[in-house]
Structure 1
Amino acid sequence: MRDFAERSVEQARKAFEGFLSVAQRTAGAAGDVTGQGGVKSVAAQVLSYTEQNANAAFDVATKLVRAKDPQEIFAVQSEYLKSQIAALQTQAQELGAAFQKGLIPGKQ
């Protein structure tokens, strides 16, 4: 059962990586067509954060599958929540700065 769960997590990770690759190419092409460098930069940053957050979720899923008891599950979930809250706060601040810098005329 554990092997099946681990394989499922790994398959989901690979599928997401394929999706992300397509999304990155599409965002790059859209930025080239519109000629809006600020939008392209913010889109690339959002995709980067999406990749980081998804990888963190896949990592925690793998750890949860391998957990040996409820205490370990709780510890893994608690650490994940702490690290994701910190990451999301940082990402929100950086995106706010990027929007101000890249999307408001005269702030580049």
Structure 2
Amino acid sequence: MTTPKSDFEIPEQMREFAEKSVDQARKAFDTFMDATQKAVGRVEEQTNAAQSGSLGMNKKALDYAEEHVDAAFQLAQKIVRANDVQEIFQLQSDYLKAQMEALGEQARDLSESAARTAGDVGRKGTDS
């Protein structure tokens, strides 16, 4: 007579499928980001000096978005390798804490960049 297991176990085949799916999604996203970065680069080359501050902020925001998506993929990879539900909850909790800290830092950085850009544009407007 066997005793029923109380732990939630993920079958190995299901883990492999999930891991392959995450890897494929990651590759597709990386291809998309490469194309997007190239497009942003071309736009930056075609703009004048007055727009450089806002383009820099757009690039920075795009970089931040890429960092967040990368962190989400890392979380997904960790989750498919988790041994139990408790570990999944801990991984998610750690992820959310790190993301909130990153968002706070990024918001401060973007705010400072916006203030610098506004100051630069204001100075250029009075120099003319």
Query: Normalising to structure 2: TM-score of the pair?
Result: 0.78
1:73 matched to 2:83? The reply is no
- Quote how far apart the aligned CAs of 1:80 are: 0.3
Which of 34, 50, 65 is the equivalent residue of 2:47? 34
Identity over aligned pairs, percent: 44
> CA separation of 1:51/1:107 partners in 2, compared to 1, >3 Å: closer, same or farther?
farther
Matches within 5 A, 1:1-108: 1-35=14-48, 36-104=51-119, 105-106=121-122
- Quote how far apart the aligned CAs of 1:37 are: 1.2
Aligned residue number for residue 5 of structure 2: none
After the TM superposition, which of the residue ranges 36-45 and 65-74 deviates more from structure 2?
36-45
Contact 1:42–1:99 (CA<8 Å) still a contact in 2?
yes
- Distance in 2 (CA, whole Å) between partners of 1:57 and 1:33 is 33
Runs of at least 5 residues in structure 1 that lack an aligned partner in the other structure:
none
SS in 1 for 2:115: helix
> CA separation of 1:10/1:33 partners in 2, compared to 1, >3 Å: closer, same or farther?
same
Q: Determine which structure has greater relative contact order: mean sequence separation of CA pairs < 8 Å that are 6+ residues apart, divided by chain length.
A: 2
- Quote how far apart the aligned CAs of 1:34 are: 2.2
Count of residues in Structure 1 that have an aligned counterpart in Structure 2: 108
More helix by share: 1
Query: Normalising to structure 1: TM-score of the pair?
Result: 0.91
- Quote how far apart the aligned CAs of 1:99 are: 1.3
Runs of at least 5 residues in structure 2 that lack an aligned partner in the other structure:
1-13
- Quote how far apart the aligned CAs of 1:50 are: 1.3
